[in-house]
């Protein structure tokens, strides 16, 4: 791949300064780069268009871009932006300093608790992908990076597939991935379920973390494939009975009886000492959450005309009482003529039925789920503003956790519970909550 003038000068699009090379594959080179505006480090993946077009992989590159734009999760490498020149495509990605997880295993097997910590984070990331209809299909230790704090980050979605790439039989039909980590049904060139294939690869990864070597090994690739087909492997004597049981269920050569992610997360071995990486920062933040706001019990804030205009879009006040159309806003507002105490007790009722923790003052309520979801625990913040003494606006936002889980919580729990306190206009139209 020849260097463009911009690359030779070391500055891309006037924004990124290119540094040393971090790695390279068949179609891409990855450089360390610095964002000149923010001073922050990024990993710059540079893909040569000509080479990609020549082998008919342009669709795959476009897919990688669209997949990565959807993937906002603490255990997935983030794509900051995509740029292009006549001959190249540039991916500015999160720079993960700790190197590959593979380098850790190369030094020898991991202790069970360390292996579990990485495995929990891997499953959290893969569960998130699957919830968005995305299957990675090339999971292996080289695609698992570690940051300075030991947080695992899944990368290289070049082979991933959306659920809309399924054939009419609901299965994927392209063989890809790395032989030692690939599920038997993928090698068999028959249709396969992307989620089940990812689970197999996660099983191989867990085996490697605990054993320090691969479960299916043979110098002869045909003999290795035969072992994979039969699920022919042996756990070393130092594996605990629980880990042995879980790995055997993940490395089941029959995809229809192979364990699901939900069942992996319910297993006793997985649940033992859930890692900080899976617990996520928002829980610690909830513990100290707004001692400023909640602890001091500040009075309900009064909205003046300027507040109202800033909350609405222009002079159209309808957005004050409508759910934001843009999903990323993750907030809804409603008006009520009930006192703030009624709003707070309604929110407490919802929290009780769903086993959420509650912090409250006269003007705000903070809820936090107990179950760890796809992006940690779900956190919800409700703030109460007085437009007039007997007319309040309540703003509800997601403060942490997964958007999909938040939206489901709002539609199934929050809206039904708030129905009888939401203000109805004189025309009889209920303002949507």
- Residue in 113, 127, 138, 169 annotated catalytic: 138
| Closest C-alpha among 410, 390, 285 to residue 347 | 410
| Exposed/middle/buried for residue 115 (C-beta within 10 Å: 0-12, 13-18, 19+) | buried
Please indicate whether residue 316 is annotated as part of the active site. no
Q: Which long-range contacts (CB under 8 A, 24 or more apart) does 180-188 make?
A: 180/140, 180/204, 180/214, 180/216, 180/217, 180/224, 181/138, 181/139, 181/140, 181/205, 182/228, 183/228, 183/255, 184/228, 184/229, 184/231, 184/253, 185/255, 186/137, 187/225, 187/228, 187/229, 188/229
Q: Is 353 helix (H, G, I), strand (E, B) or coil?
A: helix
What count of Cα atoms within 13 Å lies in the side-chain half-sphere of residue 272? Answer: 12
Residue 354 is assigned to a ligand binding site: no
Instruction: Give exposure, 156-186, as e/b (b: 16+ Cβ within 10 Å).
Output: bbbbbbbeebbeeeeebeeeebeebbbbbbb
Give the N- to C-terminal CA distance of the chain in Å, as an integer.
Answer: 55
Give the residue numbers of the binding site for ATP: 49
Residues tagged active-site: 138
Give the residue numbers of the binding site: 49
């Amino acid at each position: 791949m020849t260097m463009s003038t911009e690359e030779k000068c070391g500055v891309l699009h006037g924004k990124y300064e290119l540094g040393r090379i971090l790695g390279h594959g068949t179609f891409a080179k990855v450089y360390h780069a610095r964002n000149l505006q923010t001073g922050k480090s990024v990993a710059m993946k540079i893909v040569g268009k000509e080479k990609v077009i020549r082998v008919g992989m342009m669709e795959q590159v476009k897919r990688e871009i669209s997949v990565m734009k959807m993937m906002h999760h603490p255990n997935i490498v983030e794509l900051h932006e995509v740029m292009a020149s006549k001959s190249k495509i540039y991916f500015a990605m999160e720079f993960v300093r700790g190197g590959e997880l593979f380098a850790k295993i190369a030094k020898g097997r991991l202790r069970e608790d360390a292996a579990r910590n990485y495995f929990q984070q891997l499953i959290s990331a893969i569960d998130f992908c699957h919830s968005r209809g995305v299957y990675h299909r090339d999971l292996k230790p080289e695609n698992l990076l570690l940051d300075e704090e030991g947080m695992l980050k899944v990368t290289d979605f070049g082979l991933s597939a959306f659920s809309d790439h399924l054939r009419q039989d609901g299965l994927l039909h392209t063989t890809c991935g790395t032989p030692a980590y690939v599920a038997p049904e993928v090698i068999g060139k028959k249709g396969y379920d992307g989620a089940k294939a990812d689970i197999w690869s996660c099983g191989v990864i867990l085996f490697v973390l605990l054993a320090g070597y691969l479960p299916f090994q043979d110098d002869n690739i045909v003999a290795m494939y035969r072992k994979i087909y039969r699920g022919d492997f042996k756990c070393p004597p130092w594996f605990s009975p629980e880990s042995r049981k879980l790995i055997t269920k993940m490395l089941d050569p029959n995809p229809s009886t192979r364990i699901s992610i939900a069942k992996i997360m319910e297993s006793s071995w997985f649940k033992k000492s859930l890692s900080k990486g899976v617990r996520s920062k928002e829980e610690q933040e909830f513990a100290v959450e707004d001692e400023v706001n909640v602890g001091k019990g500040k009075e309900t804030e009064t909205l003046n005309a300027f507040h109202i205009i800033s909350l609405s879009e222009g002079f159209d006040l309808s957005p004050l009482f409508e759910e934001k159309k843009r999903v990323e806003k993750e907030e809804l507002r409603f008006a009520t003529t009930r006192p703030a105490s009624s709003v707070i007790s309604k929110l407490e009722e919802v929290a009780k039925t769903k086993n959420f923790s509650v912090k409250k003052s006269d003007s705000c309520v903070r809820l936090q789920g107990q179950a760890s979801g796809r992006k940690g625990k779900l956190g919800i913040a409700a703030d109460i503003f007085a437009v007039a003494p007997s007319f309040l606006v309540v703003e509800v936002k997601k403060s942490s956790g997964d958007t999909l889980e938040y939206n489901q919580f709002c539609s199934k729990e929050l809206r039904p519970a708030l129905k009888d306190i939401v203000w109805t206009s004189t025309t009889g139209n209920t303002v949507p909550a």
